[in-house]
Amino acid sequence: MALCKRRGFIYQASDLYGGLNGFWDYGPLGAQLKKNLRDRWWYDVVMDPCGGAPGPDGQPVDIVGLDTCIIQHPKVWVASGHTETFNDPMVDCRETKARYRFDHVSVCVPTGEADAAKPRFAFIAGTPSEARQRKKADKAFGAGLAIVPLAELPVESWNRVIAPDADQPGTLTEPRAFNLMFKTYIGATATEDDVAYLRPETAQGIFVQFKNVVDSTRVKIPFGIAQTGKAFRNEVTPRNFTFRSREFEQMEIEFFCHPDQARAWYEFWRTQRLAWWKSIGLAGDNLRVREQSRDELAHYAKDGAGTSDIEYRFPFTDPDFGEIEGVAHRADFDLATHQKHARTKLEYFDAERGELLANGGHKGERYLPHVIEPSAGLDRGVLAVLCEAFTEDASRPSPELLRLHPSLAPIKAAVFPLVNKEAMPQTSAKLHAELSRRFRGQGYIEHDARASIGKRYARMDEAGCPYCFTVDGQTAQDQTVTARDRDTGQQERIALDRVADYLGERLARS
């Protein structure tokens, strides 16, 4: 977090006014890193879906893009179930007035019989309350200690539970529902009739426009609609840096297919999405795909082929993992509910299915498509990329560096004059202009003539810049420069007029 602030990746939102809990701003490098990840997703999903890999039975993977509004008709959220069920059961603390998500509260309980009357210490994993309450529990119980979810503790014993931030036992209320949608008003009068919500997910905008997309384009089932955009959730305990924020960005695909093919497409997308995260540098033990158990499934996914979470082992979840993308078979839940609430048929007429006719054609079949939804978080993706890239190495000029995948790195290259004299600054400025013209569309090209060369390399290592080129005394003699590779720290001399190609080849390879 300190490096992110120091180098201009991520700042606390409204920092000047003491910050706003659950909101984060992206600085110059963070904004470009986020854009690079979003652009990469859009390219690999919409422009060249899955790099041309065929879907089940060799079918093409067709996806079109969409950009829908943050504020939708309030009935959208009634139909989707968010008004009714987008509730997390919450518990309140009567002593501190703090509110916690019921399923996030864990409790240290004594294991020994003799300790049965002792207090229990509740905490929220990943917050300061965890260490504090564990320490108190260790002191109170000695060796015999177990951690159980509050949900598994009989309510009769809650009078012995000390809430995460409280001093007295028995201050937690029973769980109550709390809606996570941000409320606003449309128009000037601001009465209850004007209530609207900031979308808690981008998905519903896609379902609501499904019919228009089918009617106005030449898409045929199977096909997908993709969009990226902001989503808002009034998370009760935002935490772990950007991982659980109140305003965040999603990258979602709704892939529509015939019900008989849903399982095959679900498996296809699970594999493809895992491969995608690997392709941007999250390969290794820190990435996994996990099939959700039946108890975890959302209301719309109970009868489907399943839901899998693509998870990353963040430093704050270690040894556990945190979700970066969910791949869910939503069956026809969304189209069916909008069809009912909007009283408009959303069935798809598939001319290539149904009974075979004498002329070799088909009678056609009318059905509600099933949906496979790969839903990723852009902010969680950026955070995973940053965590994966963060390296500590005391032997380097910068003891902390970011080994960002070159395709995502916000600074693609830096050009330095070794010293600010002779013709070095002029030559490096010319090289900088040439590289900027060629690569500026992909990220920043830096030019820096200040401080010692070691300090400049260290700064670029911290910013995750993969390549540096230094113009020195030898350049004037033999028209070569030093090229330095961030990951190995190794330097080689290359011809000045080859620098652009050298960089181009390396960025294309990544």
Please identify which residue in the block is written with the tokens 């294991």.
111
Distance between CA 41 and CA 311 in Å, rounded? 17
Q: How far is the CB of 12 from ligand ATP (least distance, A)?
A: 15
With CB under 6 A as the contact rule, the residue among 34, 233, 484, 486 that binds ligand ATP is 233
Residue 422 touches ligand ATP, criterion: CB under 6 A: no
Distance between CA 408 and CA 96 in Å, rounded? 44
Distance between CA 259 and CA 372 in Å, rounded? 10
The footprint of ligand ATP on residues 183-222 (CB under 6 A) is: 201
How, if at all, do strands 411-417 and 467-471 pair?
Answer: parallel
Please identify which residue in the block is written with the tokens 């690997």.
278
- Contact range with ligand ATP by CB under 6 A, out of 39-47, 74-82, 133-141, 374-382: 374-382
With CB under 6 A as the contact rule, the residue among 124, 166, 324, 431 that binds ligand ATP is 324
Rg (CA), the chain: 27
* Helices assigned H by DSSP within 248-317: 262-277
Residue 55 touches ligand ATP, criterion: CB under 6 A: no
Distance between CA 489 and CA 499 in Å, rounded? 17
> Strand, coil or helix: what is 332?
coil
H or E segment and range at residue 456: helix 453-463
Is residue 403 within 8 Å of residue 367, measured between CB atoms? Answer: no
CB nearer to ligand ATP: give 250 or 398.
Answer: 250
Is residue 466 within 8 Å of residue 404, measured between CB atoms? Answer: yes
- The alpha carbon torsion through 108, 109, 112, 116 (nearest 10 deg) reads 140
- Contact range with ligand ATP by CB under 6 A, out of 35-43, 323-331, 419-427, 433-441: 323-331
Q: Which residue is nearest to ligand ATP (CB)?
A: 377
CB nearer to ligand ATP: give 201 or 254.
Answer: 201
Q: How far is the CB of 200 from ligand ATP (least distance, A)?
A: 8
Residue 250 touches ligand ATP, criterion: CB under 6 A: yes
> Strand, coil or helix: what is 238?
coil
Q: How far is the CB of 350 from ligand ATP (least distance, A)?
A: 29
Residue 365 touches ligand ATP, criterion: CB under 6 A: no
Give the CA angle between residues 412, 413, 419 to the nearest 5°.
160
With CB under 6 A as the contact rule, the residue among 323, 350, 365, 422 that binds ligand ATP is 323
Residue 248 touches ligand ATP, criterion: CB under 6 A: yes
Neighbours of 112 (CB within 10 A): 12
Residue 377 touches ligand ATP, criterion: CB under 6 A: yes
CB nearer to ligand ATP: give 32 or 308.
Answer: 308
Distance between CA 473 and CA 8 in Å, rounded? 33
The two three-digit tokens of residue 475, written as one number? 């350049």
The two three-digit tokens of residue 132, written as one number? 């504090």
Distance between CA 8 and CA 31 in Å, rounded? 9
Q: How far is the CB of 117 from ligand ATP (least distance, A)?
A: 36
Residue 380 touches ligand ATP, criterion: CB under 6 A: yes
CB nearer to ligand ATP: give 87 or 436.
Answer: 87
Q: Taking CB under 6 A as the rule, which mask of x and - marks residues 260-279 in contact with ligand ATP?
A: --------------------
Distance between CA 99 and CA 85 in Å, rounded? 19
Q: Taking CB under 6 A as the rule, which mask of x and - marks residues 278-317 in contact with ligand ATP?
A: ----------------------------------------
H or E segment and range at residue 372: strand 370-377
- Contact range with ligand ATP by CB under 6 A, out of 319-327, 340-348, 447-455, 497-505: 319-327
- Contact range with ligand ATP by CB under 6 A, out of 115-123, 373-381, 405-413, 448-456: 373-381
Distance between CA 483 and CA 469 in Å, rounded? 5
- Contact range with ligand ATP by CB under 6 A, out of 56-64, 155-163, 318-326, 424-432: 318-326
CB nearer to ligand ATP: give 200 or 406.
Answer: 200
With CB under 6 A as the contact rule, the residue among 110, 169, 175, 326 that binds ligand ATP is 326
Contact set with ligand ATP (CB under 6 A) = 201, 233, 235, 244-245, 248, 250, 323-326, 375-377, 379-380
